[in-house]
Chain A
Amino acid sequence: MIKALAKGLALTFKTLFRPRVTLLYPEKKKVMYERWRGRPRLTTGENNEELCLGCGICAKGCPAQAINVTAGKREDNSRFAATFEVDIGRCIFCGFCSESCPKNAIVMSHEYELATDDKKKLLLNKEELLRNPEEGEG
């Protein structure tokens, strides 16, 4: 019995020298894996033009009905999204919008620090959606 007691103490003593498993947030943030689904964001092409056509497939496919798109036409007859709104409060981060987009215009970024103190700020419009969190600019 003494041996069992001593073995217990030795085990706990060994854990003193193991590294701690806690992540010291917010000084250190966890890097997510590549396909991790964070906030949806709109992409741009090579010349910084928006890829989104305003077709509305993402809005129809969203299970939470969080996306609102209205289409518009530019002077050179190309389609674009006149308004594009995503309600982050309704979004469930499933990625269906990204899977269904024909132009890969909407993808899931790795951003997760989306908390805010005003419910109206949860309704993201096109400029905010275009912001690329990895590069820090739209």
Chain B
Amino acid sequence: MSYSNADIIASLILMLAKAGLFFVLYLVVLAYLTLLERRLLGLFQERYGPNRVGWQGLLQPVADGLKLFVKEEITVSGANRAVYILAPIVFVTATMMTFALVPFGDVIWPATMEIGGRMYNFTFANAHRGVIADVNVAILVVFAISSLGIYGLIMAGWGSNNKYALLGGVRASAVMISYELAASLALIGVIMTTGSMSLMDIVKVQGGYWLGFIPKWFCFSQPLAFVIFLVAIFAETGRTPFDFTECENELVAGYQMEYSSMKFALFYLGEYGHMLAGSALMVTFFLGGWQGPFADAPGLKYFLPVLYFCLKTFVVVFFFIWVRATYPRFRYDLLMNLGWKVLLPATLVNILISPITMKLLGQM
């Protein structure tokens, strides 16, 4: 397919618009996710969350952000300056980059459109599709990026010039590495069924229904992989019940101890960004992505899939917060036990039985 220069420029402008809009929305959603978590936790505990600042507390994230901005910016003495400053940046950037690969809609712009009398073709680099970067080995890229995020933790622990922060950072990164293994192996069943590592293809395969009403999502055809991935995502994002590294009521905050003001705000937002990215990946792999009823009706097909994606991600985020309100914390050795001795063999079992179920369900 040959593209003229004007087509390429039009597609690139569309891609930049997608990325820019996503960036702005991501930061706003992240800030209000903190408020949502505090209000929901309050609801689960028969109390109100923050509801004083602005109507129903909607200005609370603004107040929090302002407070963190004007706090004193401390650089610990003896800290390795470059490492100390780069650590939160690496952490946040890694979680943000994951979203460049997640498909949030099917088609969000018509493939060819007439503007000012000239026909523009927007399909260069799949710019008209609902994903910022349509890579055909997207699963590999996703896990490579989250491995980079682990570097952020180690850098934070090391750059703080503090033995306890170092130990906290080492423990946190050990947990993340162990559970990332289980998470990636759990996806092999998904890759086998789809036959492709592209996230767009994985979502497309989950269209349609069995028996007319059960959607063909991978959470129904690969339940073991679904459960393993769920637990692994909880551990990777550092959420309760696996949050011993930054349990706010026990340790003083582990690897984040020596951070104040905006660097701490970046870590804090990075944690919620990680939770959002984990939810988005869970929705993409197992809950059908942007699929839903009437997703290809002519008038609705540009924004209804996006709505479905956002709703499903919100449901998974609600589940994250629900679990945090319910379960006590794992001990560190039991945590590593679970990751290596329970989840890893379970993923291998899943790889064994996955082709059998695929043959039975007629997907092979």
Interface residue ranges, A against B (CB under 8 Å): 5, 8-9, 11-13, 15-16, 18-22, 24
Contact (Cβ within 8 A) A15 B45 = yes
With beta carbons under 8 angstroms apart, the residue of B46, B323, B327 that contacts A20 is B46
| Identity of the chain B residue whose Cβ is nearest the Cβ of A19 in the assembled complex | B46
Which B-chain residue is minimally distant from A7 (CB atoms)?
B326
Q: How far is the CA of A5 from the CA of B46 in the complex (A)?
A: 21
On whether the beta carbons of A9 and B322 are closer than 8 Å, the reply is yes
Among B43, B44, B46, the residue within 8 A (CB) of A21 is B46
B359 contacts the other chain (Cβ, under 8 Å)?
A: no
> Using Cβ atoms and an 8 Å threshold, which residues of chain B touch A20?
42-43, 46-48
**Further 20 A-B residue pairs, CB within 8 A, beyond A11-B326, A19-B46:** A5-B327, A8-B327, A9-B323, A12-B44, A12-B322, A12-B325, A12-B326, A13-B322, A15-B43, A15-B45, A16-B43, A16-B44, A18-B46, A20-B42, A20-B47, A20-B48, A21-B46, A21-B47, A22-B47, A24-B48
- Chain A residues positioned under 8 Å from B44 (CB to CB): 12, 15-16
Question: With A and B bound together, what is the CA distance between A11 and B325 in angstroms?
Answer: 10
Q: Which residues of the partner chain B approach A21 to less than 8 Å between Cβ atoms?
A: 46-47
Counting from the closest, the 5 A-B pairs by CB-CB distance are A12-B326, A8-B326, A22-B47, A12-B325, A22-B48
Secondary structure of the B contact surface, majority rule = helix
| CB-CB nearest in chain B for A11 | B326
List the A side residues contacting B326 at CB < 8 Å. 8-9, 11-12
B interface list, Cβ under 8 A from A = 42-48, 322-323, 325-327
In whole angstroms, how far apart are the Cα atoms of A9 and B324 in the complex?
10
**A15 CA to B323 CA, complexed, in Å:** 13
Q: How far is the CA of A22 from the CA of B44 in the complex (A)?
A: 13
Cβ–Cβ contact B327 & A15, under 8 A: no
> Measured between C-beta atoms, what is the minimum distance from A115 to chain B in Å?
19
Closest Cβ of chain B to A20, distance in Å, is 5
Which residues of A have CB within 8 Å of B48?
20, 22, 24
Bound CA–CA A13/B327 (angstroms): 13
Which chain A residue has the least Cβ–Cβ distance from B47? A22
Q: Given the complex, which residues of A lie within 8 Å of B47, measured CB to CB?
A: 20-22
* Cα A15 to Cα B322 with chains together (Å): 11
Within the complex, the shortest CB–CB distance from A8 to chain B, in Å, comes to: 5
* Minimum CB distance partner of B319 in chain A: A9
User: A11 to chain B: closest CB distance in Å?
Assistant: 8
Q: Which residue of B lies closest to A9 (CB)?
A: B326
CA distance A63 to B144 in the complex (A): 73
Cα of A112 to Cα of B44 in the assembled complex, Å: 32
Smallest Cβ distance from B134 to chain A, in angstroms? 37
Least CB distance from B318 to A in Å reads 10
Residues of B within 8 A of A22 (CB): 47-48
> 7 interchain pairs (CB within 8 A)?
A8-B326, A9-B322, A12-B325, A13-B322, A16-B43, A16-B44, A21-B46
Q: How far is the CB of B230 from chain A (nearest CB, A)?
A: 12
Q: Which of B322, B326, B327 has the most CB of A within 10 A?
A: B326
CB distance from A28 to the nearest CB of B (A): 12
The residues of A that contact B43 with a CB separation of less than 8 Å are 15-16, 20
Chain A residues with Cβ below 8 Å from B323 are 9
Q: Could you tell me the distance in whole angstroms from the C-beta of A25 to the nearest C-beta in chain B?
A: 11
Chain A residue at minimal CB-CB distance from B45: A15
Assembled-state Cα–Cα distance A30/B45 (Å): 21
In the bound complex, residues from chain B placing their C-beta under 8 Å from that of A19 are 46
CB distance from B321 to the nearest CB of A (A): 10
Q: Provide the residues of chain B in CB contact with A9, threshold 8 Å.
A: 322-323, 326
A2 to nearest B CB, angstroms? 9
Residues of A within 8 A of B45 (CB): 15
Per the bound structure, the CA–CA distance linking A76 and B44 in Å amounts to: 68
A19–B45 alpha-carbon span in the complex (Å): 10
A21–B45 CA distance with the chains assembled, in angstroms? 9
User: Shortest distance in angstroms between B123's beta carbon and chain A's nearest beta carbon?
Assistant: 45
